[in-house]
Structure 1
Amino acid sequence: MDVSIQQRRNLSKKRGFLFWSIALSIVLVATIIGAIAIGSTYIEPGVVYKVLLNKLLSREIFEPTWNVMFENIIWEIRLPRVILGAVCGAGLALCGVLMQCVTKNPIAEPYILGISSGASCGAVAVIVLGGISTLGITSITGGAFVGSIVSGVLVFAIGTQMGRTTSTTRLVLSGMAISTIFGALTNLLIYSAKNSNQAKNALFWTVGSLGGAKWDVLLIPFIALIIVVAVAFIMSKSLDVLLLGDDSAIILGINVKLVKSIILILATLLTSTLVAITGAIGFIGLVVPHVCRTVAGSDHKKLIVLSTLVGSIFLILSDVAARGLFPPIEIPIGIITSLVGGPFFLYLISKKNYSFGGNE
Structure 2
Amino acid sequence: MDISLENKTNLSKKRGFLFWSIGLSILLVLTIIAAIAVGSTYIEPGVVYKVLLNKLSNGAIFDVTWNTMFENIIWEIRLPRVILGALCGAGLALCGVLMQCVTKNPIAEPYILGISSGASCGAVAVIVLGGISTLGITSITGGAFLGSILSGVLVFAIGTQMGRTSSTTRLVLSGMAISTIFGALTNLLIYSAKNSNQAKNALFWTIGSLGGAKWDVLLFPFIALVIVIAVSFAMSKSLDVLLLGDDSAVILGINVKLVKSIIILLATLLTSTLVAITGAIGFIGLVVPHICRTIAGSDHKKLIILSSLVGAIFLILSDVAARGLFPPIEIPIGIITSLVGGPFFLYLISAKNYSFGGND
CA distance in 1: counterparts of 2:138 and 2:7, whole angstroms: 54
Task: Give the Å deviation of 1:23.
Answer: 0.5
Task: Give the Å deviation of 1:185.
Answer: 0.3
CA distance in 2: counterparts of 1:138 and 1:107, whole angstroms: 35
CA distance in 2: counterparts of 1:214 and 1:132, whole angstroms: 24
Q: Gaps (5+ residues) in structure 2?
A: none
Task: Give the Å deviation of 1:26.
Answer: 0.5
CA distance in 2: counterparts of 1:189 and 1:315, whole angstroms: 29
- Amino acid aligned to 2:343: P
- Amino acid aligned to 1:104: K
CA distance in 1: counterparts of 2:123 and 2:70, whole angstroms: 33
Matches within 5 A, 1:69-88: 69-88=69-88
CA distance in 2: counterparts of 1:46 and 1:177, whole angstroms: 51
SS at match of 2:43: coil
Task: Give the Å deviation of 1:57.
Answer: 1.4
Query: Quick check: 2:92–2:311 contact (8 Å CA) kept in 1?
Result: yes
CA distance in 2: counterparts of 1:348 and 1:176, whole angstroms: 20
| 1:153 and 2:153 correspond | yes
CA distance in 1: counterparts of 2:174 and 2:137, whole angstroms: 31
Residue 315 of structure 1 is matched in structure 2 by 315
| 1:169 and 2:154 correspond | no
Query: Quick check: 2:283–2:338 contact (8 Å CA) kept in 1?
Result: yes
Residue 260 of structure 1 is matched in structure 2 by 260
CA distance in 1: counterparts of 2:323 and 2:249, whole angstroms: 46
Residue 120 of structure 1 is matched in structure 2 by 120
Q: Number of aligned pairs? A: 356
Residue 235 of structure 1 is matched in structure 2 by 235
SS at match of 2:139: helix
Residue 187 of structure 2 is matched in structure 1 by 187
| 1:68 and 2:71 correspond | no
Residue 338 of structure 2 is matched in structure 1 by 338
Task: Give the Å deviation of 1:6.
Answer: 1.8
Query: Quick check: 2:125–2:189 contact (8 Å CA) kept in 1?
Result: yes
- Amino acid aligned to 2:12: S
TM-score of the two chains, using structure 1 as the length reference: 0.95
Residue 58 of structure 2 is matched in structure 1 by 58
Q: Gaps (5+ residues) in structure 1?
A: none
SS at match of 1:220: helix
CA RMSD of aligned residues (A): 2.0
Residue 198 of structure 2 is matched in structure 1 by 198
CA distance in 1: counterparts of 2:78 and 2:185, whole angstroms: 34
Query: Quick check: 1:290–1:356 contact (8 Å CA) kept in 2?
Result: no
The answer to which of 337-346 and 89-98 deviates more is 337-346
Task: Give the Å deviation of 1:142.
Answer: 0.2
CA distance in 1: counterparts of 2:84 and 2:263, whole angstroms: 23
Residue 21 of structure 2 is matched in structure 1 by 21
SS at match of 1:128: helix
CA distance in 1: counterparts of 2:37 and 2:354, whole angstroms: 37
- Amino acid aligned to 1:171: L
Query: Quick check: 1:132–1:140 contact (8 Å CA) kept in 2?
Result: no
Identity of aligned residues (%): 90
Task: Give the Å deviation of 1:106.
Answer: 0.6
CA deviations 1:252-294 (Å, max 9, x no partner) are 1111111111100010000000000000000000000000000
SS at match of 1:131: coil
SS at match of 1:165: coil
Task: Give the Å deviation of 1:131.
Answer: 3.2
| 1:33 and 2:33 correspond | yes
CA distance in 1: counterparts of 2:137 and 2:180, whole angstroms: 26
CA distance in 1: counterparts of 2:113 and 2:149, whole angstroms: 11
CA distance in 2: counterparts of 1:103 and 1:279, whole angstroms: 24
TM-score of the two chains, using structure 2 as the length reference: 0.95
The answer to which of 6-15 and 205-214 deviates more is 6-15
Task: Give the Å deviation of 1:342.
Answer: 2.2
- Amino acid aligned to 2:102: V
SS at match of 1:123: helix
- The verdict on how the C-alpha distance between 1:333 and 1:204 changes in structure 2, with shifts beyond 3 A counting, is same
CA deviations 1:233-261 (Å, max 9, x no partner) are 10000000010111111111111111111
CA distance in 2: counterparts of 1:166 and 1:60, whole angstroms: 56
CA distance in 1: counterparts of 2:26 and 2:214, whole angstroms: 25
CA distance in 1: counterparts of 2:136 and 2:167, whole angstroms: 41
CA distance in 2: counterparts of 1:277 and 1:327, whole angstroms: 23
